[in-house]
């Protein structure tokens, strides 16, 4: 193993720690969303939206890091690499990317409208 690979693994260790915090923040966000649905307090709405946005930004940055690393791995393949190795590397990058895009689609359902829209959450979560 070269130093670059060891450094990538070290960074991935930090990313796992970040994911633990993201999971905790997601639970906190769910709490504020429940409170908003119960009380319709704008402060709770803003809090859970802000947390969800920050979670999305951090996960998107992590995604970009992995795209960059995968791109470097593909570029590092020399012309003498077997076609199977090249194919597996490119397929892994593609499936990783498409999975993350599907994750983004799932996340967009949490925020069902864009910020330029005049709709409010009460359109999506009608009062009981």
Tell me the per-residue pLDDT of 47-99, one tens digit each, with 9 for 90 and over: 999 999 999 999 999 999 998 888 888 777 766 566 666 666 666 666 655 55
Q: Tell me the residue range of the domain where 62 lies.
A: 3-124
Burial class (CB in 10 A: 0-12, 13-18, 19+), 33: buried
Q: How many domains does the chain have?
A: 1
> Which two three-digit tokens encode residue 103?
């994750």
Q: How far apart are the first and last CA of the chain?
A: 59
Residue 10, CB-side half-sphere exposure with 13 Å CA sphere: 7
- What local confidence, expressed as pLDDT, does residue 79 receive? 60
- pTM beyond cutoff 0.75: no
Instruction: Check: CB of residue 127 under 8 Å from CB of residue 40.
Output: yes
Mean pLDDT, the chain, rounded, equals 76
60: phi > 0 → left, psi -120 to 50 → alpha, else beta; which?
A: alpha
């Amino acid at each position: 193993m070269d130093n670059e690979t060891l450094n990538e693994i070290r960074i991935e260790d930090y990313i796992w720690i970040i994911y633990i915090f993201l999971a905790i923040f997601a639970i906190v966000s769910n709490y504020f969303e429940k409170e908003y649905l119960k009380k319709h307090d704008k402060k709770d709405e803003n809090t859970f939206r802000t947390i969800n946005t920050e979670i999305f930004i951090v996960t998107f940055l992590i995604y970009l890091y992995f795209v960059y690393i995968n791109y470097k791995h593909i570029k590092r393949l020399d012309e003498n690499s077997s076609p199977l190795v090249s194919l597996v590397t490119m397929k892994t990058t593609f499936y990783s990317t498409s999975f993350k895009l599907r994750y983004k689609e799932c996340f967009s359902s949490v925020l069902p409208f864009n910020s330029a829209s005049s709709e409010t959450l009460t359109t999506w979560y009608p009062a009981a």
